[in-house]
Structure 1
Amino acid sequence: MYNFSLDKASLWILLFMFSVLEISAQENPPIPIEVEVRTSRNLNFGSFTAGNSGGNVTVSYDDQRTVDGDIFELNVGEPVSAALFDVYANPGTIIQIEDMGPFTLTNNNTSFPIKLYINSFSTGQRTFVTWEPSAQTPNEVFVGGTLSIPADNSGNLPGMYNGTFTLNFIHQ
């Protein structure tokens, strides 16, 4: 049989050793994912005129306007521009852009609607990974779209058209 005895000093040393050791049963939770999206610039198709056959006006994510069908570009008024969204998120966050369209644009003079389709992203696709090294630096996402001008509009289109479009930025 062994005789085991501790003096007071040894007991305090053992208690001190066990009190400074950190014991954890689970790992820390991941860094919270917070995504903030701010609109920095609106989508603008500029000025154009449409004949009776209709057609499409497209603005790409890099501000290039193209037309097809019976559409004629005019170089007056507001400049053509893609929409610009500043996405603030932790580096490496996976984000998917969900398009809620098509969208209808109207003007105050007529009830003749024009359809807007969102179809051009500077990220190359609707799912991307944030690339900026800090959550305080915006990831710039440029977005373009197409206006579909219906045929047989019989001159009912003149005026300035306005509307909104909704994109959901979903983080994973």
Structure 2
Amino acid sequence: MAAGHLEHELELGVPASEAWDLFGTLRLGEFFEKEMPSLFQKVELVEGDGGIGTVLKLTFVPGTLGPTCYKEKFTKVDNENRIKEIEVIEGGYLELGFTLFRGRFHIMEKGKDSSTVKSTVEYELKQEASENGSIASNAIQALANIAQVAKQHLNRNKLADPPK
């Protein structure tokens, strides 16, 4: 059994509360489809309201990631510390030899008007599927791309709605 942990951090340039309004809610799935159509073909709510236990089905544009679709479950939604964790529960990475595939977004305050998003991928991989370990690197890169597009979106909205 092989295990790994990959991280990426990005300063967002908006208050942590604004970033969490996107990353900590179901709006993130809608954002994926609208702002990243080259990666996400469809994001469907299977069950839940955005809290722990919520299940989404993500379908990717073929050839962009590794898996073409999978279901993920929100296993942690910590509004106080601004941490959201998901685990793949069906398809996708599990079909590629991963026994655990967990993603995490952690929004950290960096002063009154700025924040950082720390994206993390944790995984366990069957020994006989060890050649698929590079797929986890693709996943952290995808999370880094999501963070970058979210940053652009959040800052564009900040400029469109100046304080009164």
TM class by shorter-chain length?
under 0.3
Structure 1 length-normalised TM: 0.25
Larger Rg: 1
Structure 2 length-normalised TM: 0.26
